[in-house]
């Protein structure tokens, strides 16, 4: 799948990718400048997530990255 960067630096993420990743209009993505490739991560409201967690025991002391690694496994970055 291809997309073209506009003169304003904008790009449209193709609909099949947006659907697969659950991306919605207005969602904020964070770009990692330290990688030699384009890596964007959806940003979520950590406080809102924690409000929905309920009784999570010791997991409430975890960072959001630690929580995600534990629940879905760590993500290996391609080089």
Residues 6+ away with beta carbon under 8 Å from 14: 1, 3
Which of 5-14, 30-39, 41-50, 51-60 is predicted with the least confidence, judged by mean pLDDT? 51-60
- Do 28 and 45 contact (CB within 8 A), yes or no? no
Residue burial 22-48, b: 16+ Cβ < 10 Å; e: rest? eeeeeeeeeeeeeeeeeeeeeeeeeee
Per CATH, the number for 1-43 is: 2.10.260
pTM score of the predicted model = 0.49
CATH 2.10.260 domain residues, the chain:
1-43
Average pLDDT, the chain: 81
Q: Name the CA radius of gyration of the chain, rounded.
A: 16
- Predicted confidence (pLDDT) at residue 79 exceeds the cutoff of 90: no
pLDDT band of 2, cuts 50, 70, 90: confident
Q: Is the dihedral of CA 54, 57, 62, 66 positive or negative?
A: negative
- Predicted confidence (pLDDT) at residue 62 exceeds the cutoff of 60: yes
Determine the pLDDT at residue 71: 79
């Amino acid at each position: 799948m291809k997309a073209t960067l506009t003169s304003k630096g904008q790009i449209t993420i193709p609909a099949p990718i947006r659907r697969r990743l659950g991306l919605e209009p207005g969602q904020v993505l964070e770009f990692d400048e330290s990688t030699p490739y384009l890596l964007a991560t959806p940003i979520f409201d950590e406080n809102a997530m924690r409000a929905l967690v309920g009784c999570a025991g010791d997991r409430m002391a975890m960072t959001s990255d630690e929580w995600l690694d534990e629940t879905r496994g760590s993500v290996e970055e391609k080089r």
